Structure 1
Amino acid sequence: MEFILSPWPWYISGPLIALVLFLLTMMGKRFGMSSNLRTMCTLCGADKHAEFFKFDWKAQRWNLLVVVGVVIGGFIGHFFLSNGDEVAISKNTIDRLKDLGFNGAGKEYLPTELFGAEVFSDPKMLFFLVVGGFLVGFGARYAGGCTSGHAISGLSNLQLPSLIAVIGFFIGGLFMVHVLFPIIF
């Protein structure tokens, strides 16, 4: 029972991810989360307003199960599989985050200063959420997929554009964390 309630080691979870990707490849499917947004927008009628959303969404029904699985898996992971331990990050990182005003650093996975409901009443934070959401959405479409699609599915298929995209994601993330983030906060 201890194995089920503790985080799975890489040598269990890694091969399981590889097995899922192998099965998807054999079925002619590609994994990625941003394509689900396109499917959901089409289901809500966006195909009546933009050519981009005019496609056979029924062929992507299987991928909507990924979204349902992520939500259910997140719920189960948070409420039934979390053991309450602190987040495993270095003391230096915790100290740096606390210097930037993130008081829950090392205790919570998502800082409430960025992801709590109170950010919607702060104009500065609301601005950053809207601009950040736009940039992530634009970047995912411009790159031809999101981080999960390129890093998991694209790299496993040895696609050069996915390698370039993943390198760009990492460079952008490092630039944000080490350059822009301290300026903004």
Structure 2
Amino acid sequence: MEFILQPWPWYVSGPCIAIIMYLLLYFGRTFGMSSNLRTLCAIGGAGKRVAFFNFDWKSQKWNLIVVLGAIVGGFIAHYLLSNPINMDLSEATVKDLTALGFNDVGQSLLPPELFSWDAVFSIKGMSLLIVGGFLVGFGTRYAGGCTSGHAITGLSSLQLPSLIAVIGFFLGGLIMIHLIFPILF
């Protein structure tokens, strides 16, 4: 009998996320990835030059486990749990992506036109990474947290600013994919 890997269904993964959120809230912690970057900068000594990074980073060491878990979990998911089958995409999606210059649409979750080293180290790729990184960093700081922090911690604790931020994230994503992305590619 052949073992076929399938994504975890919502009724398993959803309660797992809810249990983690309950434990974090119970212990007075919040979840978010952007706070880890601040912690790493503080560990590196950035607090000597910028007041924002001058805080007790040792109280946030527990959150660095989240980064380690994301790295290890991503590795395990990609190399051990991936199901190498073609994706069943609609004809309209295939047509749109082909028109944007993507080859072999649906053959990979990470199209080489975006995720190969050649694409990353091109002038266009480096420009997108630098500008995108700046915008994400600015947006994260301006919004007071990242998408995961607002969408998971903020919404589960019923914070109105997180609801507004998540709506803004979705609107920004829609604008990017429907208006800006076709211009760039």
TM-score bracket for this pair, using the shorter chain length: over 0.9
Q: Cα distance 1:174–1:46, how it changes in 2: closer, same or farther (>3 A)?
A: same
Q: CA RMSD in A?
A: 1.8
1:115 paired with 2:115, answer yes
- Amino acid in structure 1 at the alignment position of 2:150: H
Q: Distance in 2 between matches of 1:88 and 1:58?
A: 47
Q: Cα distance 1:39–1:3, how it changes in 2: closer, same or farther (>3 A)?
A: farther
Q: Cα distance 1:92–1:30, how it changes in 2: closer, same or farther (>3 A)?
A: same
Q: Distance in 1 between matches of 2:168 and 2:43?
A: 31
Structure 1 residues not aligned, in runs of 5+:
none
* Contact 1:104 1:112 survives alignment (8 Å): no
Structure 2 residues not aligned, in runs of 5+:
none
TM-superposed CA distance for 1:120, in Å, is 4.0
Percentage of identical aligned residues? 61
Q: Cα distance 1:88–1:8, how it changes in 2: closer, same or farther (>3 A)?
A: farther
What residue number does 1:94 align with? 94
1:14 paired with 2:19, answer no
TM-superposed CA distance for 1:59, in Å, is 0.9
What residue number does 2:82 align with? 82
- In the TM superposition, structure 1's runs of 4+ consecutive aligned residues that sit over 6 Å from their partners are 1-4
The farther-off stretch of 117-126 and 78-87 is 117-126
What residue number does 1:63 align with? 63
- Amino acid in structure 1 at the alignment position of 2:121: S
Q: Distance in 2 between matches of 1:2 and 1:148?
A: 36
What residue number does 2:29 align with? 29
Q: Distance in 2 between matches of 1:63 and 1:133?
A: 22
* Contact 2:147 2:169 survives alignment (8 Å): yes
Q: Distance in 1 between matches of 2:71 and 2:169?
A: 24
**TM-score, structure 2 as length reference:** 0.93
Residue-pair matches, total: 185
**TM-score, structure 1 as length reference:** 0.93
- Amino acid in structure 1 at the alignment position of 2:119: V
The secondary structure found in structure 1 opposite 2:80 is helix
- Amino acid in structure 1 at the alignment position of 2:90: S
